[in-house]
A = this chain, B = another copy of it.
Amino acid sequence: MYLARIYVTLKTAVNDPQGHTVLGGLKNLGYSQVTGVRVGKYLEVRVDAPAKATAEALVKEMCQKLFANPVIEEFRFQVEELAASPRN
């Protein structure tokens, strides 16, 4: 059993209105030290695969097909092996 931690972020050139809103909220709370905010997605996916390389290939395919929009987003992930008795 493997756990993949997946990070999906907007490409640098893409405008991030959600990040701008969060930045505004922080400024209103008095955090004038904050100069920029980008908001992304984080997913934890448990995969039943015979080897780490298989799990990584599967996760990459899932990211390309379902998690990230390749036109405006990019993704990265880490896969780690889990000990027995998985949660969830």
Contacts and interface: CB of A to CB of B under 8 A. Distances in A.
B66 A36 contact: no
A48 B33 contact: yes
A44 B9 contact: yes
A37 interface: yes
B7 A38 contact: no
Instruction: Categorize the interface residue count of chain A.
Output: 35 or more
Contact of A49 (B8, B33, B66): B33
A43 interface: yes
A39 B29 CA distance: 27
B41 A58 contact: no
Interface string A6-19: 01110010000001
Interface of A: 1, 7-9, 12, 19, 22, 25-26, 29, 31, 33-49, 58, 62, 65-66, 86-88
